């Protein structure tokens, strides 16, 4: 995924949530000042691998064996803690630093890659935490246009960004432990973000010509939204 392909979707996200592109760009620029280049081959060879994209929904406890059986585990946010508590080590963490940044920092110091995301609402966290990360194992990401060491491989929430990252580096099959789009315990904003995560995973599913079981029952709604955004573009 390159930014030119992702940009119409990014603009739709900005419009729906009222986010400011300039704020994302300021956050990106702060991250660019603090980060160093991260060659994506430093993640390891994920080409052709079964990659578990672990979400942080409560059902992850039930889905641990899906992650355990995968070749590569990419974990979103606090999914890392749940998996490691059950003896499953992760190969990469994806986070916007809002819940467990201390875990992310420790992982980088242990040589585990962390994709640390900068957006308009988390500049203080970026300033506080990126200097505590081991540079060699920190991949700085943005949802705006990439610049310098800061990349954009697609996605919006931690979970779907993890899936887009796995796709970008050639994952063979994606599986999704710990995902729940219809969580009754989340607030309205989080619910809207989960709707967007489903749309973006449907887009990725279509691009990969793959079927993600977690999207069963949601494809029609997601397709209608995507087609409005992507009409005339690269679908």
Q: 232 falls in which pLDDT band (50, 70, 90)? A: low
> Within a domain: residue 193?
no
| pLDDT of res. 122 | 98
Tell me which residue has tokens 């990401």.
141
Question: Across the chain, what does the average pLDDT equal?
Answer: 96
| pLDDT of res. 206 | 96
Q: 130 falls in which pLDDT band (50, 70, 90)? A: very high
| pLDDT of res. 178 | 98
Domain holding 150, by residue range, is: 3-179
> Within a domain: residue 205?
no
> Within a domain: residue 109?
yes
> Within a domain: residue 207?
no
Asked if 116 and 138 touch (Cβ cutoff 8 Å), the reply is: yes
* 188: pLDDT strictly greater than 70: yes
Report the number of distinct structural domains present in the chain: 1
Q: Whose CA is closest to 166, among 37, 48, 4, 7?
A: 48
Tell me which residue has tokens 């995507």.
226
| pLDDT of res. 185 | 84
| pLDDT of res. 86 | 98
Cα separation of 75 and 181, whole Å?
Answer: 17
* 189: pLDDT strictly greater than 90: yes
> Within a domain: residue 64?
yes
* 235: pLDDT strictly greater than 50: no
């Amino acid at each position: 995924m390159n930014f030119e392909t992702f940009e119409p979707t990014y603009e739709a996200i900005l419009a729906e949530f009222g986010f400011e592109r300039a704020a994302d760009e300021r956050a990106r620029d702060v991250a660019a000042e603090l980060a160093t280049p991260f060659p994506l081959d430093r993640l390891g060879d994920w080409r052709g691998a079964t990659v578990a994209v672990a979400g942080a929904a409560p059902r992850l406890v039930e889905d641990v064996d899906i992650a355990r059986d995968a070749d590569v585990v990419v974990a979103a946010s606090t999914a890392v803690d749940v998996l490691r508590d059950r003896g499953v080590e992760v190969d990469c963490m994806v986070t916007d630093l809002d819940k467990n940044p201390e875990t992310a920092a420790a992982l980088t110091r242990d040589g585990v890659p962390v994709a640390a995301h900068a957006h308009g609402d988390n500049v203080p966290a970026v300033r506080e935490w990126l200097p505590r990360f081991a540079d060699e194992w920190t991949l700085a990401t943005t949802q705006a246009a990439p610049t310098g060491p800061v990349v954009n491989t697609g996605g919006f929430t931690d979970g779907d960004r993890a899936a887009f990252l796995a796709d970008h580096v050639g994952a063979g099959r994606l599986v999704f432990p710990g995902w729940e789009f219809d969580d009754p315990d989340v607030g309205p904003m989080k619910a809207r973000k989960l709707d967007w995560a489903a749309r973006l995973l449907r887009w990725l599913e279509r691009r990969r010509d793959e079927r993600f079981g977690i999207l069963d029952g949601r494809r029609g709604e997601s397709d209608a939204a995507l087609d409005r955004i992507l009409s005339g573009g690269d679908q």
